[in-house]
Amino acid sequence: MPTPHAVRGDITQARVAAVVNAANRAMRGGGGVDGAIHRAGGPAVLRDCVERFPHGLATGDAGWTTAGEMPARWVIHTVGPNYSAGERDRDLLASCYRRSLEVAEEIGARTLAFPLVSAGIYGWPKGDAVACAVETISASTADVDEVTLVAFDDATLALVEQHLR
């Protein structure tokens, strides 16, 4: 069972086997974390998304691609629910973390860095997004060694650390 820990930083620079991308259903890049990962990884990430996911991914699912030019080897893309658009089923959000950990195990990624899925532009309430992430990762039986929750700012880092205590 992985025990998550938190850091403040840029997920695209994480020195882990796989970074998790909060992707959209189309799997063609976007804003926020998704845009940052596609910019940092370069065109290889998009090419792999197009090839591996010609029809995108469903909300709550996950799949992997190369990480391109990032320090990580893989990107695990997961599609979070869009709270602002009415997708408020917490099980879908938990599924993002579960499926990402399952994919990590499938590809042999022993170290992962997660953003807070759906807590940015998709509007999931940050406190519940953190609670769901910590609960789901902590309950996982995936064979991974280290899970890092990467916070973009100090306030989010403090919130994550509070939930980890």
Block means of pLDDT (10 residues each) for the chain, 165 residues, are 89 98 94 95 97 97 98 98 97 98 98 97 96 96 96 95 93
Is pTM, for the whole model, over 0.75? yes
Q: Where are the alpha helices (DSSP H) in the chain?
A: 32-41, 43-52, 90-107, 126-139, 154-164
Asked if 105 and 71 touch (Cβ cutoff 8 Å), the reply is no
Distance of CA 42 to the CA centre of its chain: 18
How many domains would you assign to the chain? Answer: 1
CATH value at residue 31: 3.40.220.10
- 78 is in which domain, residue-wise? 3-164
The residues assigned a catalytic role are 34
